[in-house]
Chain A
Amino acid sequence: MLNSTNTNPEETGILGWFSSTLGQLLVSLFVPAVTFFVLYQGYMFLSRANAPQIVQVIVAIIWGVGGVALLYVVANWLVLKLPKKWSKRLQPFVFVGPAVAIMGWFLVVPVIRTLIGSFRDRLGNEWVGLDNFKFVFTDPRMLETFKNNLLWLIFGTFFSVALGLLIALLADRSKAEVIYKSIIFIPMAISFVGAGVIWKFMYTYKGTGVGIQEIGLLNAIILALGGQSQPWLNMPPWNNFLLIVIMIWLQTGYAMVILSSAIKGVPAELLEAARIDGATETRTFFSIIIPYIQGTLITVTTTIVIFSLKTFDIVRVMTGGNNGTNVIANEFYLQSFSYNNAGRASAIAIVLLIFVTPVIIYNLRQFNKERKGF
């Protein structure tokens, strides 16, 4: 038990009370001070240690996880030292305070700061009015990213959801369902950077000449079919579609898993009744399954749409955004970290936020509907 608020009833008398209060006060100051000292020493050790890396890593893990747990224990202990009225009032904030503070620092306040930054110049010193937004909506570079993100959004989302639905439907009728689904799902575990290497190798091009054998599967297949090998990743508009293929490869598994569980939720009696009435498979699909899983379909589509808007890693690793493959998130990265233009970067981030606003509103509506009595 960490609780030690109850002062000992035995210890009466003004002196005893005073000393115990003073003692408690000192302890209350001492314990947090020691805690902070220990945590600070840990931090200093980590930031300039020359111990073997494995030692550093283990210390970092213990220090990080233990430190957070320790802070909660000490904070709770301190709050319980207060008079009962105050401790009761303050204790909820021991629980929610850290989370709220961190989210405030990392997400809520940055929205406002980025909004302000989007009206200021590249270093954030002068007001520039709408100049950054003028850049975002008129510069050819930006227009190219919008066009490409639209391709990602339309083709990436459509094929991920459609393929995911097809596989979910087919697998539902197969005995080897688990195996098929596991295989399609595997790319979900792979980083976009890893997927970038995988697909860059698929698309690689060696050139033409005597005795050269293409080592990329795409070009090898094209050669085998009598075509001409090409450096596909340098060739707009094909390169965009080749990048979108990677997104489809990664996201179909997600769509499939979620849709598959929704399809399993369609009542068997309903499907049976439709079959007895002589409805064809297509008819059953469009008139029963689709309406039944509509909600899930919307959620999955929304999630993948947001993913396609924020796509970054794939483009960064595969083409760096060159040769007409730039996307919004990559241009954001370039503006903020390569060209050091915080104003333009902020404006791009705000535009991304505006794009997801409908989803935010939808989420809030759903939340209010579900939790009337919150």
Chain B
Amino acid sequence: MAVTELRVLSNPEPEGPGEHAAAIYPDWESVFQDNVVGIYQLVFRKVGNAADAEDLAEEVLMQTLKTLRLPAPVPAVRAYLVKTARTVLADHWRRHYAARDAANELEQIPIEIVANPDAVDRAQRLLGLLPDHFRNILELRFLRGYSVREAAHELGVTESNARVLQFRALRKAAELEREVLR
């Protein structure tokens, strides 16, 4: 979306119930208050830790607010926030992990400013699709908070084997997410 599309300086007052003019954000504080939690959660779902989520949510909001001309319609602002979030997240994965494919994928998949839309359900479905030995290690680690050592003990394998099992399980989960859940 071109930035110029967001330059709305006036808006006719719609009073009739059948009219659907877009709601307006009057100033940057409104954009911030209405979206900061949603942006944080959107970003968190793609980085998985609070420290990176805070930095990247700030970057998304900062970039957007520096470019926007306000007042501006709510849907246009949100669309622009999401577009910026895609770019910021993709750049994060490229810059810190040289993960070009993951970054390219982030720029393609749909993401929304919604509080935890179906993350828990999606993760449970993902675990349910895995073979037992893969599901067991991931449930112990991610749902029950076991360390690698504790998980290895529970499964009767060495720590080294538990790490390999976890790696294989995560790769299988990634494959299933790509092929089945998307």
Tell whether A pairs with B.
Answer: no
